[in-house]
Chain A
Amino acid sequence: MSVSASIFILILLAGAGFFFGRQRSLALVSGKLATLHSLPNQYGWYVGILMLLPGILVILLWIVFSGNIIDTMVIASLPDHAGPATEQARALLLNDIHNTAAGAPHSGSSEIYIQEAAQRYSRLKSQGVNIVSALVALFAVIGGLAGFRTIRPDLRARTHVERVILILLILSSVVAIFATLGIVLSLIVESARFFARVPLAEFFFGLQWSPQTALREDQVGSSGSFGAIPLFAGTLLISFIAMCVAVPLGLMSAIYMTQYSRKNVRKVVKPLLEILAGIPTVVYGFFAALTVAPFIRESGGLLGLDVASESALAAGLVMGIMIIPLMSSLSDDALTAVPEAMRDGSLALGATRSETIKQVLIPAALPGIVGAFLLSVSRAVGETMIVVMAAGLAANLTANPLEAVTTITAQIVALLTGDQEFDSAKTLSAFALGLALFGATLLLNMLALSIVRKYRESYE
C-alpha cells in the first residue's frame, strides 16, 4: 500500500458516496425535486465531502510529520555507541540511513547498525502508510455513513457545500499571499544580516563595488567593498537604452496597429509581435552576446570608437527589442480604450488622421501610455538573462554606453552561482541587491497600475 494508492481509493469511495447521497436524496422525496431543499447533486457533494475531508487531513498530517517522527524513532533505537553526538553527525547519519533504505549505492560505510537502522526505517515507513490507509478508509466510511444518515429533504446541503468551496477558495489565495510574504520576509531577514556587516550608507552611496572578500586571513587586497551605485547606474543606463528603443517603436507600432492598419494586416502583425514576446530571454541573451555585441564593436571600430566587447549598448538594444511587444500591446490597449467618438469628433472638425492622433488620441490615452512605460521600465530593470550574457560583470561607473557595465540582476546571478558560503557578506549582499530591486519594481508597478486604473475609470 502506498499513499497514492490510498488517495486513489479515497477518491473512489467518495465518488461512491456522491452517487449514493444523490440517490438517497432522490429516493427520500420519490423524485419530487421541488420538495428538496437543495439539488440532488449537492446532496451527493455533501456526502462526498464528508468522506474526503478527514482522509485528506490525515494524509496531509502524515506527509508533513511522518519524516521527523520516523527519524526520531530510528535514531532512538540505535545502539548506544552509534548515537550521534552533534546535530551535524545526526544529519549525516540520517542521510546514510535514508540512502541505504532506498538501496542507493552507498559510500562504503555499510556498518551493520546502519543496515539495521535502514531496515527499521523502511519497516516503520510501510507500517505508517498502512495505518494511514486504514485510517483514511475508516474515516471515509464513517463520514459517508454519517452524511448518508443525515440526508433529509430539508437538510441545507447547498449551504454546507458552498461553505466548503468558500473555504477552499480562501485557502488557495492564502497560500499565494503567504508565499509572497515568505519570499519578501526572507529577503528582508537576509538583507538585515548583510546590513549588520555593511553600513546602509556604504551600500546605497558607495561608488566602489568589489564583493570579493578574503577567503583566508592572509590574503591581501580583497577586503570587499559594497558600494552599489555602479550597479544602480549600470541598471539605469541599460534600462534607458532599452526604453529609447522600446518606447518609440512600441508606441508607433501600436499607433499604426490601432489607427492605420487594415483588419487583416492587424490579424497578421499582432500575433507576430506576440511571438516576439514569447521568445525566451536567454535566446535574446545570446543574440545580444553573439550577434549584436560583435556587430557594434566592429562598426564602432570602423568609426574609430573603442567599444568594449560586452557593451551596455548591445545589452540595452536587445533588451529594448524584447520589451517592444509589452510596450506596444499595453499602448495598444490604451489607445483602443479611447472612445471612437473622440476620434470621430476630431475627424469631423476636419483634422487629419495624424493631427487627430497627435492632439486627441495620444493625450487621451496618455495615462495608459505612461502606465505602459512604467511597466516596461520595471521589466527592463528586472531583466536578468540578457544582461548576464551581454552586459558583463565589470562594475564600471560610467555613462558611456560603449563601455561594459553591470546591473543589479547580473551581480545577483554572479554572487549566487557556484559554491558559496551562505553567511559571507558577499553572498548576503545578493539579498540586499534583491531587496533594492524588489522595492524599485514594486514601486514602479504600483504607480503604473494606479495610473492605468484611474484612467480606466474615467472612460467607464
Chain B
Amino acid sequence: MEKTPKMQATNVHVYYGDNHAINKVSLDVFAEDVTALIGPSGCGKSTFLRCLNRMNDSIASARVEGKITLDQQDIYDPKIDVVQLRARVGMVFQKPNPFPKSIYDNIAYGPRIHGLARNGEEMDEMVITSLQKAGLWEEVKDRLEAPGTALSGGQQQRLCIARAIAVNPEVILMDEPCSALDPIATAKIEELIEDLRGRFAIVIVTHNMQQAARVSQKTAFFHLGEVIEYGDTADIFTNPEKEKTKDYITGRYG
C-alpha cells in the first residue's frame, strides 16, 4: 500500500537573484520517518530545508517556484498564514540559538505567542513535558530561571529542540543540529531524534554519513541543487544506484 506523504515537494526551483540554487527537486517526507538530506557543501540542502517552512521568505533575493504541500495543502498558497505554517513545521538550527531569556521563558515563548496555554499551570505543564521529551528535564529542573545562554552547547541545542517541540509541530526541520557539538552531545541528540521519531516527521541535514545512516530511514543525496538519488537509507548506503552517490558516501567525492 502506498503511504501518503506528510510533505511533498514537486518540481521545486529556488533562485537567489540569478543564482539557481535548487533545480527541479521533488521529494516526499513521510510522517513516521526521519529523512536525511546529505550532499556536498553549497549543494542547496539548507535552501531546500528552509523552503519547507518558508524561512526563505525573509531573504529578499530568494524566489521559490514549484509546489510544496503539507497534508496536500499548498504552503505557498497566498491564503496560507505563514505564522500557522511555522507552528506546524518547526525548525532547529545549526548553531544553538536560545533567546536571551530564562530556560523556562525560552520554552514558553512559542506556546505564549500561539496562545496554547490557558493558565500558568498549563504553561508549566507544557514546559515540563517539552523539556522531558527533549531529554533535558533532569539537567535543568532546578534552574529553570537561569538564562538559556548559560547552558552548554549540547544542552542549548536540546533546549532549542524542546522549544520547537513545545508548540507541538507536525514536522521538525533540523539543519546540521550537531555540527557545533562534541561527540557525546551529538550522541544525545541522535538518541533524542530516535525518541522523537514517529511523533514528528523529522527532516535533518547532515554532513556526517554515519549519522545519516544511524538516524534516518530515508536519505536524499543532493548535488549542485538537484536530488541525485532519494530512497530508503539502507539502500542508499549499501547499494546506491548512482555512481555519484556512491563516490560521495564512500568519501571519494571531490
Which residues of chain B from 164 to 181 have a CB within 8 Å of any chain A CB?
164, 167
Q: Given A341-B93, A344-B55, A345-B160, are A350 and B99 also a contact pair (CB < 8 Å)? A: no
Is B97's CB within 8 Å of the partner chain A?
yes
B-contacting residues, A350-381, CB 8 Å: 350-352, 355, 359-360, 363-364
Whether the Cβ atoms of A345 and B167 lie closer than 8 Å is no
A32 located at the interface, meaning its Cβ lies under 8 Å from any Cβ of chain B in the complex: no
- Residues of chain B in range 47-62 having any CB-CB distance to chain A below 8 Å: 53, 55, 58, 60
Would you call B97 and A349 a contact (CB within 8 A)?
no
Contact A351 B97 (CB under 8 A): no
The reply to whether the CB of A262 lies closer than 8 angstroms to some CB of chain B is yes
| CB pair A346 B109 closer than 8 Å | yes
Contact in complex: A339, B101 (CB < 8 Å): no
CA distance A355 to B60 in the complex (A): 20
Residue ID in chain B nearest A364 by CB atoms: B100
Q: Which of A239-291 contact B (CB under 8 A)?
A: 262-263
Which residues on A sit within 8 Å (CB–CB) of B85?
Answer: 350
Structural contact, A350 and B167, CB atoms closer than 8 A: yes
What size tier do the contact residues of chain B reach?
Answer: 20 to 34
Docked pose: A339 CA to B97 CA in angstroms: 9
User: A344 touches which one: B90, B97, B109 (CB < 8 A)?
Assistant: B97
Q: Which of A344, A347, A351, A363 contacts B100 (CB under 8 A)?
A: A363
CA of A342 to CA of B100 in the docked complex: distance in angstroms?
A: 9
List residues of B (192-242) whose CB comes within 8 Å of A's CBs: none
Work out how many contacts link A and B, with CB atoms closer than 8 A: 70
**With a CB–CB cut-off of 8 A, which chain B residues contact A348?**
53, 55, 86, 90-91, 93, 164
- Nearest to B98 among chain A residues (CB) is A345
User: Distance (Å) between the CB of A142 and the closest chain B CB?
Assistant: 65
- Cα of A262 to Cα of B100 in the assembled complex, Å: 27
Partner of A350, one of B58, B110, B149, B160: B110
- Output the least CB separation between A267 and chain B (Å): 13
Most buried by B among A263, A342, A350: A350
**B89-109 CB contacts (< 8 Å) to partner A:** 90-91, 93, 95, 97-101, 109
The verdict on A350 contacting B97 (CB below 8 Å), with A345-B160, A359-B109 known, is no
Q: Which residues from A are CB-within-8-Å of B101?
A: 363
Q: Hey, which chain A residues are within 8 Å of B82, CB to CB?
A: 350
Residues in B with CB closer than 8 Å to A351 are 83, 109-110, 113
Determine whether B163 belongs to the interface, using a CB cutoff of 8 Å to chain A.
Answer: yes
Contact with A along B45-80 (1 / 0, CB 8 A): 000000001010010100000000000000000000
- Name B106's closest neighbour in chain A (CB-CB): A345
Question: Across the two chains, which residue of chain A brings its CB closest to B149?
Answer: A458
B113 near A355 with CB under 8 A, answer yes
Could you tell me the distance between the alpha carbons of A347 and B167 in the complex, rounded to whole angstroms?
13
Contact pick for B97, options A263, A345, A355, A359, CB 8 Å: A345
Say yes or no for B114: interface residue by CB 8 A criterion.
yes
Asked whether B60 lies within 8 Å of A346 as measured between CB atoms, the reply is no
Whether B152 is near chain A, meaning CB under 8 Å from some CB there, is: no
**In the bound complex, how far is the Cα of B83 from the Cα of A350, in angstroms?**
4
Contacts of B97 in A (CB 8 A): 339, 341-342, 344-345
- Residues from chain A with a CB closer than 8 A to the CB of B167 are 349-350
Across the interface, B164 reaches (CB within 8 A) one of A349, A359, A458, namely A349
Q: Return 30 A-B CB contacts under 8 Å, by A number.
A: A262-B60, A263-B60, A339-B97, A341-B97, A342-B99, A345-B93, A345-B98, A345-B163, A346-B99, A347-B55, A348-B90, A348-B91, A348-B164, A349-B110, A349-B113, A349-B167, A350-B82, A350-B85, A350-B86, A350-B87, A350-B113, A350-B167, A351-B109, A352-B83, A359-B99, A359-B109, A359-B113, A360-B99, A363-B101, A458-B149
Known: A348-B55, A349-B109, A351-B83. 5 other contacts (CB 8 A): A262-B60, A344-B58, A345-B160, A348-B53, A350-B83
Q: Which residues of A contact B (CB under 8 A)?
A: 262-263, 339, 341-342, 344-352, 355, 359-360, 363-364, 458
